[in-house]
A and B are shown apart, each in its own frame.
Chain A
Amino acid sequence: MIENHLPNTKADDGDLDMEEIALPAKYSKTYGNVIIGDRTKLPIKEALHEEVDTESNSNWLKEGRHLDMAADKTGNNGIVYVSATPDTSVANNDKKYDQTETTDIIDKKADRIETKDNEDTKLYPLEFVSSEDTSPDRIRFVTGLYNDFEDLLKNSAFRTYISDTNDFGVPSLMKTERKERTDRLKWLLTNLIKSLKELMSSTIKSDAQNDSKAVKYEELINILNLLHATKFSEPDESIILFQMWVNRADIQPDDQLVSDMENASHGTLYKNMNFWSKYLKTMIFRGYFAQAISAIDESGYENFEQTDPDLYALVKHLKSLIASYDPMKFSQYLKAFMAWKQRAANLREAAIKLTFKNVEIGSQLVDIVASISGVDSALRKNCGRWYEYFLLEYMFEMPSMKKISEYVDKAQKSFSVDTVYSWETICLNIFSEQYLKAISALETLDRSVSTYTAILLSASGLLKSYSNISLHGKGIKSGEEEIQTSIDQMIEDLALSYLSSKELFSTGTGILILTDDSKARKILSEMLPNYKIESNDDFEWCLSICAKLMLPMTAKQIYNTQGEILLDNGYEYESLCCFSEAGNTKKVVSSVWQIFENLLLEGNLVDTLLNEKLDKDEIDSPILRQAVSPLALLRNILSTEGKTIPFERFVELIQFRYLPAHYKAVLLLLLLPYFNTNTFSLDQLIKIIEILNVYEKQINDDTQCAELSGQSYDVAVSRKDVGASKGTYDWRKLEKLPSDSMALILEIRKLIAFEISFKFLEE
């Protein structure tokens, strides 16, 4: 039984969260539920509905029918549907758009394009680019990245982050500053890897059924681990980081082998051939030296001392040799490694001369010794993958960064590269310092990670090698300039993609503002008015951005848009404030008249806040104050209960020069219940006659006024039963009402005549 020394790649990798989590079935041949196109080798999304038979499908095509799409206004989405173009739909090409065609002909042609079956009229959503994952974990990840990289993004500091330290100055200070900046970049990369591991863990926990995201994150971690090992490592870290890279990418030994070893009886493993030929080999070749020694100690190999002394001696020496392998020291000091390698070579020479009773075990041990002493054929024989071969060469041939390309070449010649998953190819790009290729390929996996990786590469000066190459062969800009432009473009693209997600909008905005203030102004002046404001906080945030970037026109646009939305939702006061803030006097006035009309027809104001503001006289904006004055008057008139009507106010309102005349009919209705109740004085009755005269003239002179008056009157009368009824003097309670506005005028004239006659009689 083996205990406590089994290699747990994730734990060794410093990722404790991974201990309980099974890795996704990444080598499944089905690639999740994605279909890969034969020609393009790209994932194909299928519109999920019953398959259409090919014959009818080809008929469709002959008739010009095809799968069409329409993009939405702001985001990355659209709709897909089966359609046909105008000419193929309606007419043949020769007679297309005959201007003399009658509606009849149009109808007949339209009939011809009736659908054959329901499949033709289905709609399917389309994603232009994969929507940003807006799960809380992903948002946390993206926000964290933004916070980490804020310094580098600010004023595009990443462009010259390292080269800035090359200026003249005190050498020791320059060195310190450069070291600080390099350390900062290393920290950023390790933190990016750590965050990805956390994201992957939480993704697997929250969505165990769908492993596609986890596979993608795993690939990203593999790539970044290699970048860490090759370009962002400390001098003493390289061997360990390469081990971590391989061990994370391809976990060994496999579960079955580990299980077999675990289940074996304690102290009997020395007799198990698989222990020596597979388990021990894997442990040593993957750099798990401490675990390998522990396994040997628990295997019971001491039994060989009596039965097979040469084998026993070889095991002891091998144990001692691997115990003395110091990856940190050897990464930094090649002389120390060469001394160790000399010991390994000596042991190999000695082992060849030994005679074993357990020949097969002895042969396996000789093979291990030959491998770790750097014998190329032995190394190759003990690998299954190109990256394993690379690791063995690096660990046992010579752990020198200068030899990397040689090792990679040898590895590629000996083993094929798996192209199903992109990480292997991208890693080869990193090895060959083809960083642009790597960034492009990374982008297909994750736009956020690729962009921040590009920023890191640029900040660390790794893209300087492109400085003399003109990428597009246009010769106008230097290669470095072109790359910087491309990275700027990536950052802008990333920010734009964030802007299409409400949850990430503020992060996208932050990136734009940090990198290029003027560009941010351009983009945000376009995008902010489309931001869906769901709360006061959202609204204030949008306005604060407008203030920060000095975008008064955008702020006005936001106020106008928000005003429309609030008005549509019944928030009349807030909407008026928005229009007022936007300086949109026309809209303020037209909205107030709309509210006025509703109040006139319905009898009460729905918006309690507007009521409250009018009651407390708390409207400060001069535009708004002036605009709502007729509304306040009407409300005041309507709210008066009892036997009298505030006649002066009524007159003030109905004679208001800007009052649309067609409201007068309904206003006059308000007077009806007060006739024959001794409410009006003679002067007041004369005033009403004057009002009627003016109104009658308006109706006679202006047909639109007459028409609208009729319409408002009809609507008011038809809705009298649903309107509010406050008391005895509500016109809605009258049993009989005049048939139209002209009849109303006539009726009021009659009532006035009656009242005046009555008053004369009384006198």
Chain B
Amino acid sequence: MVTISNAHEGLIHDAVLDYYGKRLATCSSDKTIKIFEVDGDDYKLVETLKGHEGPVWQLSWAHPKFGVVLASCSYDGKVLIWKEEKGIWKNIAEHSVHQASVNSISWAPSEYGALLLCTSSDGQCSVVEFEADGNQKTVVWRADAVGVNAGTWAPPQRDNAKEKRVVTGGCDNLVKIWRFDTQKNTYVQEEELKGHTDWVRDVAWSQCLLSKFYIASASQDRTVIIWTKDVANANATWRKQLLRSDKFPDVCWRVSWSMSGNVLAVSGGDNKVTLWKENLNGDWEQVGEVDQ
């Protein structure tokens, strides 16, 4: 197993590989972002990006069709967009509509264009569109009275590729699904999924094009809920299923789907990352564990 030591001077908050697994970006409480070039087991630090004035929480690589572009969000309430051209990294845009920490960022499926979803502790979400001519268009909406901890995009539906949806999780213990209303030019709430009894810490919408939609939500109430809905049936409702019948030993912080095989990874306060997969009977089974 390869490790990278002393990557930052502060705690790491995110570490993401780009689409081809050739670049690794990490961000930290030390307010910096580091870019590593990955070649097999070799990780070479090539750049340290400075620009945020607070801890950097999350990073997101844009689809390669937009070039080598990375977004970062921070406690300073800003989202910065970074681009590499001919080996030189530049800060090419700044998105600063939020009045408090920006907790998560997520690029939309590339079909929609260069759209970035941001969720913030000010209770608002924003989607900023970066146009080819350098202009930005922003849609901001209130999603939660207290704060939004996480948000991500639904996979595009081939039958209705223009219909954009996002899912958010926040301090009101709810998972909410929002649909872009072209007439109102904003995102309107489509579903409110109740099940958690404490803050929702993370949400993940499986990008696997399966017969069902799968959303996973991780909460401070020590549960992970899998929300499913039939793709083919327009009148279907969201079904709720606990990932495990008993509670996790500690807070569930983060959930993430694999692209293939629909494996769900869960990180928890018990210092473990566990891997889960649905079996043929529709039950979720633990298929692996990474321990501290």
Q: Which residues of A contact B (CB under 8 A)?
A: 37, 40, 42-49, 52, 57, 60-61, 64-86, 89-90, 96-97, 99, 103, 106, 110, 113-115, 118, 120-126, 128-129, 436, 439-440, 444, 447, 471-472, 483, 485-486, 488-490, 492-493, 496-500, 519, 521-523, 525-526, 529-530, 532, 553, 557, 560-561, 564-565, 568, 586-587, 590
Q: What are the interface flags for B116-127 relative to A under an 8 Å C-beta threshold, 1 for contact and 0 otherwise?
A: 000001100000
Contacting pair B11 A61 (CB below 8 A)? no
Residues of B within 8 A of A493 (CB): 260-262
27 contacts between A and B (CB under 8 A): A45-B291, A46-B291, A47-B1, A48-B3, A61-B250, A66-B269, A67-B272, A72-B17, A73-B16, A75-B258, A86-B57, A89-B11, A90-B55, A110-B10, A110-B30, A123-B4, A124-B3, A124-B290, A125-B2, A129-B287, A447-B261, A496-B208, A499-B259, A522-B209, A523-B209, A553-B111, A587-B132
In this complex, the member of B53, B65, B262 whose beta carbon has the largest number of chain A beta carbons within 10 angstroms is: B65
Q: Is the CB of A70 within 8 A of B260?
A: no
The answer, among A42, A99, A440, A526, for a CB contact under 8 Å with B122, is A99
- Tell me, in angstroms, the Cα distance from A47 to B290 when the chains sit together: 7
Q: Report the minimum CB–CB distance from B241 to chain A (whole Å).
A: 11
Residues facing A in B23-64 (CB within 8 A) are 24, 26, 28-31, 43, 53-55, 57, 61, 63-64
* Nearest-CB residue, chain A, relative to B292: A67
Residue among B9, B15, B147, B275 making CB contact with A123, cutoff 8 Å: B15
Q: Are A66's CB and B253's CB within 8 A?
A: yes
The CA-CA distance from A143 to B280 in the complex, in Å, is 25
Chain B residue contacts of A65, Cβ below 8 A: 11
Find out whether the CB atom of B65 lies under 8 angstroms from the CB atom of A529.
yes
B172 in the interface (beta carbon within 8 A): no
Q: Are B267 and A67 in contact (CB under 8 A)?
A: yes
Chain B interfacial positions (CB closer than 8 Å to A): 1-21, 24, 26, 28-31, 43, 53-55, 57, 61, 63-68, 75-76, 85-86, 99-101, 103, 109-111, 121-122, 132-133, 147, 149, 155, 158, 201, 207-211, 250-251, 253-254, 256-263, 265, 267-273, 275, 277, 279-282, 286-292
Given contacts A72-B16, A121-B10, A529-B63, 17 further A-B contacts (CB under 8 A): A46-B291, A66-B250, A66-B268, A75-B21, A79-B24, A86-B121, A89-B29, A90-B75, A115-B9, A124-B2, A128-B261, A436-B280, A472-B281, A490-B280, A496-B208, A561-B64, A568-B67
**Contact between B65 and A121 (Cβ–Cβ < 8 Å)?**
no
Kindly name the residue among B8, B20, B99, B270 whose own CB sees the greatest number of chain A CB atoms within 10 A. B20
Distance (whole angstroms) from the CB of B83 to the closest CB of chain A: 11
Cα–Cα distance between A483 and B282 once the two chains are bound (Å): 11
Given contacts A110-B29, A561-B65, contact A84 B287 (CB under 8 A): no
Measured CB to CB, the closest approach of chain B to A598, in angstroms, equals 10
How long is the Cα–Cα vector from A444 to B121 in the complex, in angstroms? 41
Min CB gap A570→B, angstroms: 9
* Minimal beta-carbon separation of B112 from chain A (angstroms): 12
Is there contact, CB below 8 Å, between B16 and A67?
no
**Is there an interface contact between A86 and B271, defined as CB atoms closer than 8 Å?**
no
Give the shortest distance, in Å, between B226 (CB) and chain A (any CB): 14
Contact yes or no, B100 A496, CB < 8 A: no
Q: Which of the residues A67, A564, A586 comes within 8 Å of B273, measured between beta carbons?
A: A67
Ranked 8 nearest A-B pairs via Cβ: A97-B121, A496-B260, A72-B17, A79-B15, A128-B258, A71-B256, A561-B65, A97-B100
**Given the interface contacts A61-B271, A529-B110, does A103 sit within 8 Å of B12 by beta carbon?**
no
Q: Which residue of B lies closest to A559 (CB)?
A: B65
Give CA–CA (A529, B103) in the complex, Å. Answer: 29
Query: Are A128 and B265 touching (Cβ within 8 A)?
Result: yes
**Which residue of the partner chain, among B17, B28, B29, B260, contacts A73 with CB atoms under 8 Å?**
B17
| Chain A proximity of B250: nearest CB distance (Å) | 7
Verify B12–A123 contact, CB threshold 8 A. yes
A498 to B261, CA, bound (A): 10
In-complex Cβ contact of A122 among B5, B253, B254 (8 A): B5
* Given A73-B19, A74-B259, A99-B100, residue A471 in contact with residue B209 (CB < 8 A): no
Pick from B10, B110, B260, B273: contact of A80, CB under 8 Å: B273
Q: Given A69-B254, A436-B280, A440-B280, do A129 and B261 touch, yes or no (CB 8 Å)?
A: yes
Which A residues are in CB contact (< 8 Å) with B8? 115, 121
Closest approach, in angstroms, between the C-beta of B47 and any C-beta of chain A? 15
B1 contact set on A, CB distance < 8 A = 47-48, 124-125
A46 to B16, CA, bound (A): 21
**B54–A67 CB distance below 8 A:** no
Chain A residue with minimal CB distance to B43? A123
A44 to B9 Cα, complex, angstroms: 30
B273 A69 Cβ-Cβ under 8 A:
yes
Distance in angstroms from A505 CB to nearest chain B CB is 11
**Contact status A497-B261, CB under 8 Å:** yes
Please name all residues of chain B whose beta carbon is closer than 8 Å to the beta carbon of A523 when the two chains form the complex: 209
Which residues in A have their C-beta under 8 angstroms from that of B271?
Answer: 57, 60-61, 66-67
In the complex, chain B residues whose CB is within 8 Å of the CB of A71: 256-258, 265
Inter-chain contacts of B103 with A (CB < 8 A): 86
Residues of B within 8 A of A444 (CB): 287
Q: Identify which of A42, A125, A490 contacts B288 (C-beta below 8 A).
A: A42
Nearest-CB residue, chain A, relative to B60: A73
Closest to B107 in A: A73
Q: Is the CB of A500 within 8 A of B260?
A: yes
With A76-B258, A123-B3, A444-B287 as contacts: A525 and B158 at CB distance below 8 Å: yes
A588 vs B63: C-alpha distance in the bound complex, in angstroms?
19
Cα of A99 to Cα of B282 in the assembled complex, Å = 45
B residues within 8 A CB of A521? 158
Least Cβ distance of A56 to chain B in Å?
A: 11
Kindly provide the distance from the CB of A502 to the nearest chain B CB, expressed in whole angstroms.
10
Contact, CB under 8 Å: A97 / B11: no
Contact B265 A78 (CB under 8 A): yes
B125 to nearest A CB, angstroms?
Answer: 15
Which chain B residues border A96 with CB–CB below 8 Å? Answer: 121, 147
Question: Shortest Cβ distance from A152 into chain B, in angstroms?
Answer: 19
- Contact between B21 and A471 (Cβ–Cβ < 8 Å)? no
User: Considering the chains assembled together, what is the distance between the CA atoms of A542 and B26 in angstroms?
Assistant: 32
Contact yes or no, B55 A57, CB < 8 A: no
User: With a CB–CB cut-off of 8 A, which chain B residues contact A472?
Assistant: 281-282
Closest to B207 in A: A526
Q: Nearest residue in B to A508 (C-beta to C-beta)? A: B260
Q: Which residues does chain B contribute within 8 Å of A532, judged by CB atoms?
A: 20
> In the complex, are the beta carbons of A86 and B101 less than 8 A apart?
yes
**Which A residues are in CB contact (< 8 Å) with B18?**
72-73
CA distance A521 to B159 in the complex (A): 11
Q: How far is the CA of A113 from the CA of B56 in the complex (A)?
A: 12
Partner of B11, one of A99, A103, A121, A129: A121
Check if B290 sits within 8 Å of A121, measured CB to CB.
no
With the chains together, A712 CA to B75 CA distance in Å?
36
CA gap between A561 and B64 in the complex, in Å: 6
Q: Contact: A113 with B29, CB < 8 Å?
A: yes
Residues in A with CB closer than 8 Å to B111 are 553, 557
With a CB–CB cut-off of 8 A, which chain A residues contact B256? 69-71, 78
B282 — nearest CB in chain A belongs to which residue? Answer: A472
